[in-house]
Chain A
Amino acid sequence: MIRRAHLLLLALAAVVAGGCASVPNPDPSDPLEGFNRSVYRFNDAFDRALAKPVATAYKEVLPDPVRNGVRNFFSNIADLFIGANNLLQGKPEEALTDWGRFAFNTTFGVLGIADWATDMGLDKHNEDFGQTFGRWGAGSGPYIVLPFLGPSDARDSVGTVFDMHFDPVSNHDPVDERNAAILLRVTSQRADLLDASRLLEQAALDPYLFMRDAYLQRRRSLIYDGRPPREE
Chain B
Amino acid sequence: MFARVDRVLAGIALVTLTGLAGATGADTPPDALVKNVTLDVVGIIKNDKDIQGGDRKKIVGLIEAKVLPHFDFTTMTATAVGLGWRKATPEQKTRLTEEFKTLLVRTYASALAAYSDQRFDFRPLHARPDDTDVTVQVRIIQPGQQPVSIDYGMEKTASGWKAYDVVVGGVSLVANYRTEFGNIVRAEGIDGLIRNLHAKNQSLEQAGEQGKK
A contacts, CB < 8 Å to B: 24-25, 27, 68, 71-72, 75-76, 114-115, 118-119, 123-126, 192, 195, 198-199, 202-206, 209-210, 212-214, 217-218, 220-222, 226, 228
Contact = CB atoms under 8 A, between A and B. Distances in A.
Contacts of A25: 182-183, 186-187
B171 A221 contact: yes
B160 interface: no
Interface in B160-183: 169-172, 175-180, 182-183
Given A202-B107, A217-B171, A218-B170, A210 B144 contact: no
A226 B170 contact: yes
A154 to B, nearest CB: 20
Given A195-B114, A202-B110, A213 B147 contact: no
B107 A199 contact: yes
A221 B146 contact: no
B180 A123 contact: no
Given A25-B182, A210-B176, A218-B171, 17 more contacts: A71-B143, A72-B144, A76-B144, A118-B144, A123-B141, A123-B146, A195-B111, A205-B200, A210-B177, A210-B180, A213-B180, A214-B171, A217-B170, A217-B175, A217-B176, A220-B170, A221-B169
B210 interface: no
A228 B171 CA distance: 11
B141 to A, nearest CB: 7
Interface in B98-117: 103, 106-107, 110-111, 114
A218 B169 contact: yes
B146 A205 contact: no
Nearest to B149: A226
- DSSP class of A's interface residues: helix, strand, loop or mixed? helix
A213 B186 contact: no
Contacts of B171: 214, 217-218, 221
Contacts of A228: 170
A68 B114 contact: no
Nearest to B103: A203
9 contacts: A68-B144, A114-B143, A118-B143, A202-B106, A203-B107, A204-B180, A205-B196, A213-B179, A217-B171
Nearest to A105: B144
Q: Which of B144, B172, B196, B197 has the most CB atoms of chain A within a 10 A radius of its CB?
A: B144
B138 to A, nearest CB: 13
Interface string B115-151: 0000000000000000000000000011111110100
Given A27-B179, A124-B145, A221 B111 contact: no
Contact of A206 (B106, B145, B180, B197): B180
Given A202-B106, A203-B107, A214-B171, A124 B180 contact: no
B63 interface: no
Contacts of B114: 195, 199
Nearest to A117: B143
Contacts of B178: 213
B170 A123 contact: no
Contacts of B183: 24-25, 206, 209
B184 interface: yes
B61 to A, nearest CB: 18
Contacts of A195: 110-111, 114
A189 to B, nearest CB: 10
Contacts of A213: 175-176, 178-180
Contacts of B83: none
Contacts of A72: 143-144
Contacts of B9: none
B3 to A, nearest CB: 53
A71 B144 contact: yes
B13 interface: no
B204 interface: yes
